[in-house]
Amino acid sequence: MHYPFALPALPYSYDSLEPHIDALTMQIHHTKHHQAYIDNLNKAVEGYSALYSVDLGELLIGLDDLPADIKTAVRNHGGGHMNHTFFWQLMQPHGSRAHGAIADAITKSFGSFDAFQQQFNDASKKVFGSGWAWLCLDTQKKLRIITTSNQDSPIMQGLMPIMGLDVWEHAYYLKYQNRRPDYITAWWNVLNWERIEQNYVTLLD
């Protein structure tokens, strides 16, 4: 992904994650929130032609090398574009169950899938304010659960995301209001574990 950045189409319809994630939330999240990150990212990069061909991941990893006046905008809006593009792909109607290499790795790392789910949920609930919970692969190829604030991406701290959960209020407030834990519980019903496993396996190479 590089400039000019554009909104990716969802691989499913807005209402197809019902009842777990409601259609209006999906529509506003995709067409308003995600689009706004893209618009603001394009506005920030516009005029810096040396950056036009640079991949978004490289921009985020190399934030310190960016012109000072666009660093914060690229961090927030570039992170927002990166994270949401990733997030949409993790979901599908009629979610699947973890299996194969990723399920084995999770069991090995966390003791059991239930223990992993518990840890991931706890991390998601504890994010103060706006942010994300992530399952990442570190440089030693070990699985780690982390959280990030605002729209920071794990790649900004050298970790590769395998799955991630948006716990900004805009991701759940219309349906769940202040009940973030209910949103977190519901989200597990719409996961695309084939995609998550693919994210994992690709990183092992």
**Measured distance CA(6)–CA(1) in Å, rounded:** 9
Contact predicate 127/183, CB 8 Å: no
| Residue 139, SS3 per DSSP | coil
State how far Cα 165 lies from the chain centre. 6
Is residue 166 at the binding interface for Mn ion, with CB under 5 A as the rule?
A: yes
Least distance in Å: CB of 80 to Mn ion? 7
Contact predicate 172/26, CB 8 Å: no
The smaller minimum CB distance to Mn ion, of residues 79 and 160, is found at 79
The smaller minimum CB distance to Mn ion, of residues 86 and 168, is found at 168
Closest CA relative to residue 141, chosen from 103, 105, 92: 105
The smaller minimum CB distance to Mn ion, of residues 32 and 108, is found at 32
Least distance in Å: CB of 82 to Mn ion? 12
Least distance in Å: CB of 55 to Mn ion? 21
Which phi and psi (to 5°) does residue 9 adopt? -70, 150
Q: Closest CB to Mn ion belongs to which residue? A: 166
Is residue 168 at the binding interface for Mn ion, with CB under 5 A as the rule?
A: yes
Site map (CB under 5 A) of Mn ion, residues 118-157, x = contact: ----------------------------------------
The smaller minimum CB distance to Mn ion, of residues 168 and 176, is found at 168
Is residue 22 at the binding interface for Mn ion, with CB under 5 A as the rule?
A: no
- Determine which helix (DSSP H) or strand (DSSP E) holds 32, and give its type and residue range: none
**Measured distance CA(123)–CA(200) in Å, rounded:** 20
The binding site for Mn ion (CB under 5 A) comprises 166, 168, 171
